[in-house]
Amino acid sequence: MLDLIRSNSQSLMVKIAFGVIILVFVFWGVGNLVDTGSVNLVGKVNGSPISYAEFERQYMQAEEELMRRSPGLKREALRDMGLGRHVFDRLVLEQLLKAEAARVGLAVTGLELRHLVATFPAFQKDGKFDGALYTRMLEAQRTTPARFEAGLTAQLLQEKMQRLLTGAVHVSPGEVRAFFDVQNERRVVDYVAFPAADFMAASAPSDEEARKFYDEHGESFAIPARVELEYLLVAPDTLVTPESLDDAAVAEWYARNTGRFAVPEQRRVRHILVKLAEDAPEADVRAAEARIKEISDALAAGQSFAELARQHSDDVMSGREGGELGWIGRGQTVPPFEEAAFGASIGKVTAPVRSQFGLHLLLVEEARAAGVRPLAEVADEVRREMAGAQGAEKLRDALDALVEASLLGKPLAEAGKPFGLAVRNDGLKSAAELQAMGLSAKDAETVMKTPAGATVDAPLEAGDNRFMLVKVLKSEPAGTEPFEAVRAGIVDRLRRDAALKAAMDRAVEVRRTIVDGALPANVKAAVKTAAAPMTRQGGFDGFMPDAALTSAVFATGSGLWLPAAYTLSDEKGESAAVLVRVGKIIPGTDEEFAQWKDMLTAAMTRERQEAAFQTFLEKLFATARIELLNPDVVNRREPGEQEKRR
C-alpha cells in the first residue's frame, strides 16, 4: 500500500515513460539544447542545431552511468548497442517537445522551479530548504545548479505536455470490471497424472541405442579449446583496499563531505485503511465512517493495532504485516497522510484521516529527526568510496609499471608485489568462460591463440577500470568427450525420454476412451481434484505453470475434459503426462473488485495515457525534419572505420 500511496503522491518528480528511449538524466540535467554559436553540429531538428558539445556531454554521462550500474559493460559494447543513436534521439525528442510546448503556450515559471527544488528532502535541513546544502549536494553529483535546474525545467515541461495531451483519457467502469473478471477468474480442475517414473523400468535403452545417440549428437559432447592462465587483476579495488585506509584520513574525508550523508526527518508508521472513493456517495461515506469508528473503539478498548490491521485493513499487503509501512519521509506519501504522520504523537493512534484512498488510522511508532548520519554508521561506505577513488588514481601508473616489468621478463608474481597484487589462477577456461570473466570476444580469442608459456603483450580490459595481465600456462585443443565418460548420462536421458513417451501414449489412449465426460472404471479412481483453484498465473498441485495448458483450461467450459494430454514437470523436475477436466468456474467477487477497483482504474488509465503520449511522440518524430550531420560522432566511429568493417 505504501508503494501505491507513494506512486500517487503529488511529487512532480515522476518520470515520463517516453517509450522511444529509456534515458532520463535527473542529476546530470539536460543543459542548453540550442548552441547556435557552435560550428560543430551533430544534427538539426526542424532547423534547430544539436551541438557536438551537448551530444558529447550527454553521451559521456550516459556511458558513465550505464557502466557504473553494470560494471561488466564495456564502451565497445555500448557503442555496438547503439547508445549514440539513443542519445541523439533523446536530444531530438527534447527539441521537439520544447518547440511543441512553446507552440501551445506551455512554460515553466521560475516560481514553479524554485518550489520544486525546495521540496527535495536531500536539500533540506530541519525541514527547510538549505541553499548551501543544495550546492554541496550538486557538487557531490558533479553538476551545477544551472544544469540541474535546466534538467528539472525540461522534465516539468514534458510532464505538463503529457498532462495536456492525456488529461481527457479515461477508462470506463465497465472496462475495469471486464479486465478484473478476466484476470481474477479461477477454475477448479480435476486431473489424472501418468508419472513418467511409473514407466522407467520398461524404458531401458540398449547399448546400441546409446551409441547411436552419441554418434548423432556429437556436438553435444564437444569440449572447447581451453587454456590455463596465471594473471594479475589490476583495478581500483585491488590497488587500494578499504581496510588499508588510515582512520584519520577517513574522518577528514567525512568532514569534507558531510552533506552527502544528510537524512530527512522520518517516521515509522502503521496504518489501517477503510477504502473509500473520493467521489463516494453519502451512504458509502457513512458506512466507511461507521467501520473506522468500530476499529477506533476497539483500539481505545486496548486491542492490538497490528491484530486489528490484519483483521480489518483494506490494504491487504500491509495488513498482513500488522499495518506496517516502515520508515517514510516527507514527499513520499499523499499530503493528508503525510500531514497526519508527521503531526502525530509517538505511540498515539490518530483520528481518522481522509485521503484519496479512503479513511486511515495511523500509529507512529518511532521518529527520526533530520540530521547527518554519523561517521561510525557510514565508515565502511566512506572507506569503499575513498579506496575506489585512490585506486583509480593509481591505476594508470600501476599498469605502466606492470607492462614495463613484463617487457623486462619479470614473472607476474614479482611484478605484482610492489602493488600488493597476487597472481591468480582459476584453472582451465574456454573462450566463453574468459568472456564471463570480463574479457571481450576479441581479447578472449587473443588469449586462446597465445602459445603456452607466453605472456600477452598488453593489458586486457576486463570491465570498467579493470584490467588483466595474462600469461598462458597451458593450452588444450578442442575435442570430444569419450563415449564411456558420457554413457551413463546418455542412458539416463534416453530412459527418461522413453518413459515420458510411454506415459504420454498411455494418457492419449485413456483420453480416447472418455465418452461424454465419463472415465473408464479403471481410471476413475485415479482422478484427483486440485487442492486450490487454478489461476491464469500458475499451475496446480506442485506442477509448474504451462502456458498452453493454462490457455486451454480458461478456454474450455465447465465439466469438459481438455482434448489433449499435456506434459508437465513438478517442482522436483519430475515429468508426467496429465489429462485435465475443467470443474467449477469461480468468478472474482464484488468484494475483491471493490478492493482492486481504484488501483486497476489508475493502472489502466496510466497505461492508456502512456500509449496516447507514445502515439503523439511517434507523430512528432514522423513529421519532423531531422538531419543527422555527423553519423561518425553519433555512432562512435573513427574516420574510415566503417569502410574497414565492410
pLDDT digits (tens, 9 = 90+) for 428-471: 999 999 999 999 999 999 999 999 999 998 899 988 788 999 99
Which residues is 268 bridged to in the sheet? 327, 366
Q: In the chain, what is the straight-line distance between the N-terminal and C-terminal CA atoms, in Å?
A: 55
Q: Which amino acid, one-letter code, is at 416?
A: G
**What 3-state class would DSSP assign to 420?**
coil
Residue type, 447: V
pLDDT at residue 465, as a whole number: 82
For 448, what's the count of Cα atoms within 13 Å in the CB-facing half-sphere?
A: 19
**Phi, psi for 222 (deg, rounded to 5):** -70, 140
Q: What is the mean pLDDT of residues 570-599?
A: 91
Share of the chain above pLDDT 70, in %: 91
pLDDT value at residue 287:
92
Q: How confident is the model at residue 58 (pLDDT cuts 50, 70, 90)?
A: confident
- The residue type at 345: S
What is the C-alpha to C-alpha distance for residues 501 and 567, in angstroms, rounded to an integer? 10
Poorest-confidence range of 28-37, 213-222, 235-244, 255-264?
A: 28-37
Phi, psi of 181 (to 5 degrees): -60, -40
Higher pLDDT, 106 or 638: 106
- List pLDDT tens digits, range 349-401: 999 999 988 999 999 999 988 888 889 989 999 999 898 889 888 998 999 99
Residues of the chain with pLDDT > 90, as a percent, come to 53
3-state secondary structure of 279: coil
Work out the average pLDDT over 263-289: 91
pLDDT of residue 72: 61
Per-residue pLDDT for 126 more than 50?
Answer: yes
Residue 640: pLDDT over 80 = no
Do 585 and 187 form a contact (C-beta atoms < 8 A)?
Answer: yes
Strand order in the sheet with 467-476: 428-430, 226-234, 467-476, 460-461
At residue 108 the predicted structure's pLDDT band, cuts being 50, 70 and 90, is confident
E strands in 3-143: 41-45, 48-51, 124-125, 128-129
Residue whose C-alpha is closest to residue 312's, from 297, 323, 324, 302: 323
How much is the average pLDDT of 310-323?
Answer: 87
Q: Is the pLDDT of residue 14 over 50?
A: no
Q: Which residue has the cell 479403471?
A: 522
Q: Is the pLDDT of residue 5 over 60?
A: no
Phi, psi (5° rounding) for residue 22? -110, 40
Residue 2 has pLDDT above 90, yes or no: no
User: What is the Cα–Cα distance from 197 to 576, expressed in whole angstroms?
Assistant: 8
Q: If you average pLDDT over residues 508-524, what whole number do you get?
A: 85
Does residue 602 surpass a pLDDT of 90? no
- Between the alpha carbon of residue 398 and those of residues 192, 240, 533, the distances in Å are 68, 11, 64
- CA-CA distance, 93 to 303, in Å (whole number)? 57
Mean pLDDT of all residues in the chain? 86
C-alpha cell at 112: 514553479
What pLDDT does 487 receive? 94
Q: Is the confidence at residue 19, as pLDDT, over 60?
A: no
On the question of pLDDT at 641 being above 60, the answer is no
Of the pLDDT bands very low, low, confident and very high (cuts 50, 70, 90), residue 638 is low
pLDDT band at 13 (very low <50, low <70, confident <90, very high): very low
**pLDDT digit string, tens, across residues 149-182:** 888 888 888 888 888 888 888 889 999 999 999 9
Cα separation, 635 vs 118, in Å, equals 39
Contact predicate 418/424, CB 8 Å: no
pLDDT of residue 106: 87
Q: CA 289 to CA 274: how far, in whole Å?
A: 8
Q: Is the pLDDT of residue 20 over 70?
A: no
∠ Cα 353 357 361 (to 5°): 30
**C-alpha distances in angstroms, 596 versus 3, 173, 277, 589, 593?**
14, 12, 12, 11, 5
In the β-sheet with 353-355, what is the strand arrangement from edge to edge? 324-329, 266-275, 358-368, 353-355
Question: Residue 29: is its pLDDT beyond 60?
Answer: no
CB-CB neighbours of 639 under 10 Å: 7
Cα–Cα dist 327/317, whole Å = 16
pLDDT for res 36: 37
How many Å apart are CA 8 and CA 278, to the nearest integer? 14
> What pLDDT, on a 0 to 100 scale, did the predictor assign at position 4?
36
Instruction: pLDDT band for 591, please (50, 70, 90 cuts).
Output: confident
